[in-house]
Amino acid sequence: MIKYILPKKVVFDNYEDRIEFDEMIAENNINRCRDVGVILLHINIILILVDLFLYKPMSDEIVSYKYLYYSHIIVIILISLWLIAFKIITTNKKKFNKRLMNHILINIIIYWCVFMGLNSIYISGHILAYIISIFGISLVFYLSPIESFVTYLISFVVFVSGMIFIVSDVKQLYSNIINSAFVILASFFGSNLIYTSYAKEFVNNKIILKSKIELEKSNIKLKEYEKLRTDFFANISHELRTPLNMIYCSYQMMDLTLKSDNFQKNSMNKYLKVMKQNTFRLIRLINNLIDITKIDDSMFEIKLINCDIVQLVEDITNSASEFIKNKGIELYFDTQIEERIIACDPDKIERIILNLLSNAVKFTPEGGKIFVSIYLKDNNINISVKDTGIGIDDSMKELIFDRFIQVDKSISRNREGSGIGLSLVKSLVKMHNGLITLNSVIGQGSEFIVSLPDIKIKDKNEQDYVTDFMNQRVEKISIEFSDIYE
C-alpha cells in the first residue's frame, strides 16, 4: 500500500484519505479567508478614517502617512473584489479552485503586511507590524509545509529587499533582518505544527470511524451468524426429529402388530418401508452435513476421469424415471449431442443430477413435467433440469444456493428438506470449474442449468462409467429422494 507521509510521521492509509484531507483543509481555509477578509475590510475602513482625521495634516510633511492611506484604499478594493467574487461563485454554486482563492487572499494580506512593516520601519524604525501580521497568518490558516515555506520565504525576501532600500544604518538593517528571519522561522514551524496536529487529528478520526464501521459490520455479521445458527438448529432438529419420529412410530406399530392376533405381512412391509425411507433420509442429511464440512475444510476431493457425459446423464435420468413416474410426473430426456467425452467425477455428477431431479419433484405437482436436456454452448456442456412446478420468487433467486436457505421455511411446510442440497450442488459444480444458474417464473416452473467445461484430462484414456450396478444406483436414488413422501 502506498503511504502518503507528512512531517511528524503523519501517514494516510490511502490516496482517497489524502484527497479528502486536502479538500477539508481547503474548505476550512476558504471559510477563514472569508471571515478574515470581512474583518480586515472593516479594520481598513476604520484606519482610513483615522488617516483622514489624525494623520492627514502630517501627510504633507511625512509622505509615509500618505502611502499608508493609499495602502488602506488598495487593500479595501482588493478584499472587496475577492469577497464579491467569492459571493458570486458560492451563490451560483459553481465549482472553483478553493486553494487558489485561499492563496490569492493570503498573499493580499501578506504583502499588505510587508508594506505595513516597511512603512513602520520608515516612520519609527520598528518591524512590529510585520511580526504581528506574519504570526497572525501562521496561526489562522492551515498551510502545508511546502506552502508555508514558499509563502514565508518569498515574503521574507521581499521584506528584506525593501529594508535594504529604506534602512541606511547597517547595524539596524542586520538587526531587522535577524529579527525577520526569526519571525519567519517561528511562523514556519508554528504553521507546520498546527497543520501536522490537524492532520494527526484527521487520521485518528479516520481510524476511529473505520474501526466503528468495522465494528458495526462485525455486529451485523454476528447477528446474521446468530440467526443462521438459530435457523440451522431449528431446521436440523426438525429434519432429525421427523424421520426419527416416523421410524419410532413404525416400530411401535410393528410391535403392536406382532403382539396382536391380526398379524398381517402387508402391514409389516408398509412399516418397514417407512423405516427404510426415513433411515435413508437420515443418511442423506448426515452425508450432506459431512460433505459440506469437508468442502469448508478443503478436504473434499473429486476424482476426474474422461467419460461420456451424455450417456452418464441419460443413465441417471432413466434410473430415476420409475420413481418420478410413480409421483404422477412425466420425465423427458433430450440431447442435442450424441456423445461427448469430458473430464468429470461421475459419482458427483450423479449426485448433482439426482439432487436437481429431487428438487424438481418436490415442487412439481402431480400431472406436471420435468425435462432433462444436454446441449453445447460457448465451449461448455450445459445440463438443464426444467420443471413445470410452482417456480421460485425473484427475491429468492440470489439466495437459493446459500446454505440452509429454503423457499418455504415454515416448520409446517408441505415439502421436506434441510436447505443444504442446492448449496452442496453449487459447490460440486464449482469443483468441476463449472457454473450453475437458475431461471424461474412464479407459477410456470424453474430451470437449473449446470455448465461444465468441455475439456478432457490429458494422459488419461477414455473410460465408460460403470452403469450395471443398479442396486447401488437404486439405493442412491432412494437416499436422494428420501425426503419426498407419498
CA 276/CA 359 separation, integer angstroms: 20
The DSSP letter of residue 52 is I
CA 486/CA 484 separation, integer angstroms: 7
Identify the pLDDT of residue 73. Answer: 87
Q: Which helix (H) or strand (E) holds 66?
A: helix 63-91
In angstroms, what CA-CA distances link 364 with 140, 236, 386, 411, 451? 76, 24, 10, 20, 23
Beta strands at 369-377 and 330-335: parallel, antiparallel or unpaired: parallel
Q: Considering only CA atoms, give the Rg of the chain.
A: 42
Identify the pLDDT of residue 470. Answer: 47
Identify the pLDDT of residue 431. Answer: 92
Per-residue pLDDT tens digits for 270-292: 778 777 777 877 777 787 778 87
CA 454/CA 461 separation, integer angstroms: 16
What values do phi and psi take at 142, rounded to 5? Answer: -90, 110
Ranges under pLDDT 50 in the chain: 1-7, 409-414, 466-470
Residue type, 236: I
CA 271/CA 257 separation, integer angstroms: 10
Identify the pLDDT of residue 113. Answer: 82
Q: How many other CB atoms are there within 10 angstroms of residue 273's CB atom?
A: 12
CA 76/CA 70 separation, integer angstroms: 10
CA 54/CA 46 separation, integer angstroms: 12
Identify the pLDDT of residue 4. Answer: 44
The DSSP letter of residue 466 is P
Show the domains of the chain with their CATH numbers: 4-216 (no CATH), 228-296 (1.10.287.130), 305-480 (3.30.565.10)
Cell of 103: 492563496
Cell of 285: 442429511
Handedness of CA 232, 234, 239, 243 (dihedral sign): positive
Using alpha carbons, select from 419, 416, 432 the residue that is nearest to residue 383: 432
Q: How many CA atoms are closer than 13 Å to the CA of 21, on its beta-carbon side?
A: 27
CA 160/CA 142 separation, integer angstroms: 25
Identify the pLDDT of residue 458. Answer: 80
What values do phi and psi take at 330, rounded to 5? Answer: -90, 135
Q: In degrees, to the nearest 5, what angle opens at C-alpha 355 toward C-alphas 483 and 420?
A: 70
Where b means 16+ CB within 10 Å and e means fewer, 377-402 reads: eeebbbbbbbbbbbbbeeeeeeebbe
Cell of 300: 473434499
Q: Which helix (H) or strand (E) holds 15?
A: helix 15-50
The DSSP letter of residue 365 is -
Beta strands at 380-387 and 369-377: parallel, antiparallel or unpaired: antiparallel
Q: Do the Cβ atoms of 187 and 134 come closer than 8 Å?
A: yes
Identify the pLDDT of residue 473. Answer: 60
Q: How many CA atoms are closer than 13 Å to the CA of 342, on its beta-carbon side?
A: 25
